[in-house]
Amino acid sequence: MTSEPRPGHHSEITLRVNGKPHTLRVDHRRVLLDLLREDLDLTGSKKGCDHGQCGACTVLVDGRRLNSCLLLAVTLDGSEITTVEGLGGDGEEPHPLQRAFLDRDAFQCGYCTPGQLCSAVGMLAEAAAGHPSHVTGPETPAGPPVPLDRTEIRERMSGNLCRCGAYPRIVDAIEDVI
């Protein structure tokens, strides 16, 4: 039992979430996903497995896509978090990718959708920054943006499960915004 965090331990942290600062006293056991859902009532980020296996909780942390269920909130002091609620910014209009998901019927039950959207935004940034994937050809030059075909999109989005099987439509939607 000694290796476990002692119950009742809390620390104060400050996060910016969707552009707004929040200072909170967090239980050391609390993960970012539960902080968003329980403390901030931002329930768009979903709990599908609480295990880093399904991607439904994907958010952007300092611009990178991460599974928020695997991040202890206390380690994130000073971080900038973007959730599905913040993708569209302050405006009325949704993010182009959100619009593309609607146009392509890229979801059914909607539970994986926030994670797919945040993951796709992060993925597009990774490709733009020249990050290779498992299917990127060895001849692809390092540095410039990696062109994304459907195989690349599928590979890079494979951390986000969808049990309704909307995968082909999600790839369509992502292609629409490239």
Residues near other proteins (CB under 8 A):
7-8, 27, 29-30, 34, 37-38, 41-51, 53-54, 56, 83-85, 87-88, 94, 98, 101-102, 105, 107-114, 117, 150, 153-155, 157-171
Cβ neighbour number for residue 122 with a 10 Å cutoff: 20
Tell me the C-alpha distance between 113 and 160, whole Å.
Answer: 9
- 63's CB contacts (< 8 A; 6+ apart) are 80, 82, 122, 125
- Rank residues 16 and 47 by Cβ distance to other proteins and give the closer one: 47
Q: How far is the CB of 56 from other proteins (least distance, A)?
A: 6
Q: How far is CA 175 from the centre of its chain?
A: 18
Instruction: Compute and round to an integer the Cα radius of gyration of the chain.
Output: 17
Q: How far is the CB of 86 from other proteins (least distance, A)?
A: 9
- Rank residues 6 and 143 by Cβ distance to other proteins and give the closer one: 6
- Rank residues 80 and 85 by Cβ distance to other proteins and give the closer one: 85
DSSP letter assigned to residue 118:
H
Q: How far is the CB of 108 from other proteins (least distance, A)?
A: 3
Q: How far is the CB of 35 from other proteins (least distance, A)?
A: 11
Burial of 9 (0-12, 13-18, 19+ CB in 10 A): exposed
* E strand or H helix at 25: strand 20-27
- Rank residues 41 and 139 by Cβ distance to other proteins and give the closer one: 41
- Rank residues 15 and 59 by Cβ distance to other proteins and give the closer one: 59
Which phi and psi angles does 141 have, rounded to 5°? -65, 145
Q: How far is the CB of 20 from other proteins (least distance, A)?
A: 15
